[in-house]
Amino acid sequence: MILAIDVGNSTTTVGLFDREGKLLFRATLETTRSKTQDQCAIDLLGVFRLYGADIRGVDGSILSSVVPPLTAIFTEAMTRLTGKVPMVVGPGIKTGLNIKAEIHNQLGSDIVASSVAAIAAYPSPIVMVDLGTATSASLIIGSVYEGCVIMPGLTLALEAMWSRADALPPISLESTAPVELLGRTTEESMRSGALYGHAAMLEGIIDRMEGAAGSSVTVVATGGEAPRILRYCKRTVHYDADLAMRGLYLLYQKNTRKPRRS
């Protein structure tokens, strides 16, 4: 079995694949920068117990992290639990992506993983959207990663607004009830602005990327905020919650597969 972990700014995703590449489970933990190696190891053991999996059956693992202080901590915890040093997505990893030179060393490992999975599953050209702490939209044509746009994420933008505007209260977006476009209270108006505004911003960026691509694009979205936002988008967007996990699995296979003898 292959263990895949994606450490994001807000959440950490843990996935386990069987030998055929089937995702056995995907779990989400809170990202806490102060955690120790022991705490991370305990969290991972808890996830395996929750899903009835045996960590001793892990044959290999791969780690993606956009939180540098936690990269070494998770590497050590994963090594301790599995007895094998995990592959870490970064310089030297074969991706199959032709990344534009100016951003080659700056591209987040989570975006790399999601891009690899998107290329494998969806027709080109692709706009790959990650809706998390930040919102990013990447244009991929064939195997070429053309570049991306990075914007404040939904919750981050909302928190910035109420923290800087004294007359605006903190609000929650947890409700699953549809939000009307025109709010009748301050809270309703803020929810409408956050959700419809983010959806409209996203569609505007996609339209511009479509223009840059010179043809219609396939739009695929992932990330924890995606279900909240996509329901307010007018255009077709494929929601793929497991995109980064599948990308990590593909990266692991690409970098461990033995070359065929001629």
Give catalytic residues, as residue numbers.
110
| Helix and strand element counts for the chain (H, E) | 7, 11
Could you tell me the end-to-end alpha-carbon distance of the chain, in angstroms, rounded to an integer?
A: 29
Integer-rounded Cα Rg, in Å, for the chain is: 19
The two tokens of residue 242 are 């497991």
Q: Please list the alpha-helical segments (H only) found in 51-185.
A: 68-82, 109-121, 154-164
- 157 touches 201 (CB < 8 A): no
Q: Please list the alpha-helical segments (H only) found in the chain.
A: 37-50, 68-82, 109-121, 154-164, 186-213, 226-230, 243-256
In angstroms, the CA 20 to CA 200 distance is 40
- Planar angle of CA 55, 56, 60, nearest 5 degrees: 80
- Planar angle of CA 141, 142, 144, nearest 5 degrees: 65
Any residues with CB less than 8 A from the CB of 96 and at least 6 apart, and which?
Answer: 116, 119, 143, 254
